[in-house]
Structure 1
């Protein structure tokens, strides 16, 4: 019974992480770096279902069977180079490097995360309502 709520909760946790990562990537999209300096790497959220194998190993997992688990990985996107010789961070050829973030993709990811989060909240509330109704029915006997 409680596992239904835990599955929706794991989905909400993953979508919250996805929204936070997309927001971080958007915030770093226009941060320039000096030649040779380390650029902010765009991050990606990789998800996988928490299936039966993880259910057998409950001691080390806080994700219920049927839930979702997530991991953060660095994107391999190449830095974006913009010709701006007047910028003090420009290299010898006049190019300034920015993180390899596609803001359109990140906005899409952010929108999808918000919609998926809302869907998980709806499922959570429906399961909670059904549990409440079952308790009400059981209490009337």
Structure 2
């Protein structure tokens, strides 16, 4: 019985971590055109005793911001350049798909563990 509860707990921690990752990916996509915005990166850490996964601290991408030329932009310097965003939409969409698939895999595991627990309770009742 404890193995089934552990499976439920592990899959729930995986879903929570992927949901946080997806939230930051969506923030990156929403701010892709914001001048000076740095892409947020989420890494995962595993807890030694339980094996549960959690999202670690959010880091900012250290990739240099591109210099965009637009002399009419309010943030442009004397040369007509301003800092763009280091968000690459192709990478963000790929990250979003990966997070979605990982979330769905954890959801299937959670559902299977729940069904097995329900079947066990049904057998115990007989």
Aligned partners of 1:84 and 1:96 also within 8 Å: yes
**Residue in structure 2 matched with residue 24 of structure 1 by the alignment:** 27
**Residue in structure 1 matched with residue 55 of structure 2 by the alignment:** 70
1:136 equivalent in alignment to 2:122? yes
**What's the RMSD between the two structures over aligned residues?**
1.3
Distance 1:92 1:113 in 2: 42
| Cα displacement string for residues 76-123 of structure 1 (whole angstroms, at most 9, x for unaligned residues) | 121122222222222222122122111111111111111111111110
TM-score by length of 2: 0.89
**Residue in structure 2 matched with residue 88 of structure 1 by the alignment:** 74
1:42 equivalent in alignment to 2:39? yes
Deviation at 1:41, TM superposition (A): 2.6
Q: Which moved more, 1:15-24 or 1:66-75?
A: 66-75
Distance 2:71 2:121 in 1: 70
| Cα displacement string for residues 16-51 of structure 1 (whole angstroms, at most 9, x for unaligned residues) | 01100011111111012xxxxxx3332111112222
Give the number of equivalent residue pairs.
Answer: 122
Aligned partners of 2:21 and 2:55 also within 8 Å: no
Please list every run of 5 or more consecutive structure 1 residues that lacks an aligned counterpart in the other structure.
33-38, 56-64
Aligned partners of 1:83 and 1:96 also within 8 Å: yes
Distance 2:59 2:85 in 1: 15
- Equivalent residue in structure 2 for 1:126, among 112, 116, 123: 112
Secondary structure of 1:106's partner?
helix
- Equivalent residue in structure 2 for 1:5, among 8, 23, 34: 8
